[in-house]
Amino acid sequence: MSATPDLNRRSLLRRAAAAGLLTLPAAGLLSACAGSEPAQDDNSGAAKTKDNPFGVQDGSSVKVVIFNGGLGDQWAKEDEAVFKARHPSVTVNMSSTQKIKTEEQPKMATQPSDVVMNSGADSMDISTLVNEGAIEPLEDLLAAPAWDSEGTVADTLLPGTVNDGTFQGKFYVVNIAYTVWGNWYNAALFDKEGWQPPKTFDEFFALAPKIKAKGMAPYVYDAVHGYYPRWALMATIWKSAGKQAVIDIDNLKENAWKADGVLPALEAWEKLVKDKLLLPGQLDHTQSQQAWLDGKAAFIQVGTWLKNEMAETIPPGFEMTLSDYWSLGAGDKAPNDVYAGAGENIVVPSKAPNKAAAKEFLRAVLSKEGSAKFAELTKSLASTKGSGDNVEDSALASANELMRNAPQDLVSFKFWNFYADLDKESQNLSAELMAGRMTAQQFVDGMQGAADKVAKDSSIKKQTRSA
C-alpha cells in the first residue's frame, strides 16, 4: 500500500518522507502569507441543526483530495453519495492523486483544498503542519452528532482513533482506516503442508528449514521503503520491552532505546537476516507482495490494506490470513498485544475556504453507511465501530479475530509523527538492519544518538505521550 495505529500503513505512508517535507523557507509553512487574513468559511447565515451541525451553506462547494493508493478511491466516491443525499445543493469537487505533498503543500499557505487525505510516500509531515498552524483542530467534529447513529461522532469511533489523531492535546487528524498489522501467510498452503503458523521467533526458526525445503523463502519484505520493516521491528520491541519502554522512547527519555528488551527484539530480526531467511532482491511493497502471492515466500509483514492493494493478482484458492507478529517468548512483557490502530489520515487546512462543508464531509465519511461501504470495498476495517460486521472475507475475518482477542493496550509508536528527524533516521536504520549492513546493537546506538540530538535541540518543540 502506498496503517497508523503509523495506523498508519498509510498512517504508514504519511510518515514516509517525514524529514524535509516542507520545502518553504525556514521561516515556516505559513510565512508565505504573513499578514494576510485567514480564509473565511463560506457558510455565513446557514442554520445549524442536528443534521447540519456546522451550518453548511446551500449552493456552496467543497474541494476534496483523496490519496489513491492501496485502498483505491471508490470508497470516497461512495462517501460523496452519502454526503450529497443530505446536501444535494452542495457541489463536491473530488480528485484523486498519489502526489499529496507535491500538489497540496504549495497551496497550504494561500488557497488550499478543503479536505486533504494526507497519505502515501509523498505526504506532508503532520508534526510540522501542527506546529505551523497549517491544519484545523477538529474537536467540534468529535462533539458533533453522529451522521446516522446515536451519540456523537467520537462515540462511534474504535479505540485509539482519537488518540492517534491527537497532537499537543488537540484532535487534528481523522484517521479513517483501522489497520491491523502482522505476518501474513497462505492458510491453504499451510494446511496442505501441515505447517502450524508460528507464534514465536523460535517456532519460526524451527519451521524455516521445512519452508526452504519446498523451494520457498521463509520471509519477504519491502526492501525499498524503510517504514515497512520498521513496523515489524517496533512491534517486536513493544512485545519484548513493554508499553512503558515505548512511552519512554516516544518521550525522548534518556537511554530509552537501551531499556531491557529492546536489543533482544532487534536481535531476533538480525538473526532472521543472518540466517538467510529472506527472499533475495531489492523489492518494493507491491513487488514483495506479488512475490508472496506467487509462492516465492511463506510470510510477509504488512497491514490489512494488503488484499485490496493486490486484489487483481491474487491466485485462485489463495487464503490470505493474518497472524500476529511473533513474540520472543516467556520473557516478553506484552507478548499478546496487537499492532493495530487508525491510519490513512485526513486533515482540514486552516485556510480551507469551506471548513464547514469539510467537517460535514468528514461526518459522512465516519457514518455507519460510509464506513460499511469502506470495509466492503477495501476489505479493511474503517475507524467507525462495526464497519466490517457484514463483510464476508477471509483476510478481514482473520484481522477481526486478532482484534477480538487483543488486550486493551494496542501497539503504537508516536516518535515518527512527533519528530521528522527521528522518523527519517528510524527508516534508514530499519532498512540497514534488514539489509544485513547493520547489527542490532548498531541500530540501538544509532537511534539513541538520534533521540539524544532531538532532545537537546531547544529549537524543536517537544511532544509528550502519556499513554
Calculate mean pLDDT across residues 32-55: 62
What is the CATH topology of the domain spanning 181-339?
D-Maltodextrin-Binding Protein; domain 2 (3.40.190)
Calculate mean pLDDT across residues 378-383: 88
Q: How far apart are CA 187 and CA 320, in angstroms?
A: 7
**25 has a pLDDT exceeding 60:** no
Q: Using DSSP, state whether 390 is helix, strand or coil.
A: coil
Q: How far apart are CA 389 and CA 50, in angstroms?
A: 27
The helix (H) or strand (E) run that includes residue 104 is helix 100-104
The pLDDT score that the predictor gives to residue 18 is 32
- CB 233, CB 222: distance < 8 Å: no
pLDDT digits (tens, 9 = 90+) for 220-270: 999 999 999 999 999 999 999 999 999 999 999 999 999 999 999 999 999
> Quick one: pLDDT band at residue 31, thresholds 50, 70, 90?
very low
The pLDDT score that the predictor gives to residue 399 is 87
> Quick one: pLDDT band at residue 343, thresholds 50, 70, 90?
confident
pTM of the model: 0.72
**33 has a pLDDT exceeding 50:** no
Q: How far apart are CA 299 and CA 259, in angstroms?
A: 29
- CB 227, CB 234: distance < 8 Å: no
Q: Using DSSP, state whether 181 is helix, strand or coil.
A: strand
Residue 44 CB partners (closer than 8 Å, separation 6+) = 57
Minimal CA–CA distance to 339: which of 2, 3, 1, 13?
3
The pLDDT score that the predictor gives to residue 11 is 38
**397 has a pLDDT exceeding 90:** no
Calculate mean pLDDT across residues 61-80: 95
Calculate mean pLDDT across residues 203-224: 98
Tell me which DSSP letter residue 200 carries. Answer: B
The HSE-up count of residue 350 (CA atoms within 13 Å, CB side) is 15
Strand partners, 61: 91
**Long-range CB pairs of 33-41, under 8 A, 24+ apart, other chains included:** 33/109, 33/110, 33/351, 38/350, 38/351, 39/111, 39/351, 39/352, 39/353, 40/353, 41/353, 41/354, 41/355, 41/356
Query: What is the residue whose three cell numbers read 507482495?
Result: 289
> Quick one: pLDDT band at residue 417, thresholds 50, 70, 90?
confident
Tell the burial category of 175 from Cβ atoms under 10 Å away from its Cβ (0-12, 13-18, 19+). buried
Q: Using DSSP, state whether 120 is helix, strand or coil.
A: coil
pLDDT digits (tens, 9 = 90+) for 437-465: 999 999 999 999 999 999 999 999 998 88
pLDDT-wise least confident of 9-13, 14-18, 98-102: 14-18
What is the CATH topology of the domain spanning 10-179+341-406?
D-Maltodextrin-Binding Protein; domain 2 (3.40.190)
Q: Which residue has the higher pLDDT, 85 or 10?
A: 85
> Quick one: pLDDT band at residue 467, thresholds 50, 70, 90?
confident
Per-residue CA distances from 435 to 182, 282, 457 (Å): 20, 9, 31
The pLDDT score that the predictor gives to residue 396 is 85
Q: Which residue has the higher pLDDT, 7 or 282?
A: 282
pLDDT over 90, % of the chain: 77
Q: Using DSSP, state whether 223 is helix, strand or coil.
A: coil
**40 has a pLDDT exceeding 80:** no
- CB 144, CB 359: distance < 8 Å: yes
Q: Are both 10-179+341-406 and 181-339 of the same fold?
A: yes
CA angle 119–363–123, rounded 5-degree value? 10
Calculate mean pLDDT across residues 293-297: 98
447 phi, psi to nearest 5 deg: -70, -35
pLDDT digits (tens, 9 = 90+) for 124-133: 999 899 999 9
Domain ranges of the chain: 10-179+341-406, 181-339
Calculate mean pLDDT across residues 6-21: 35
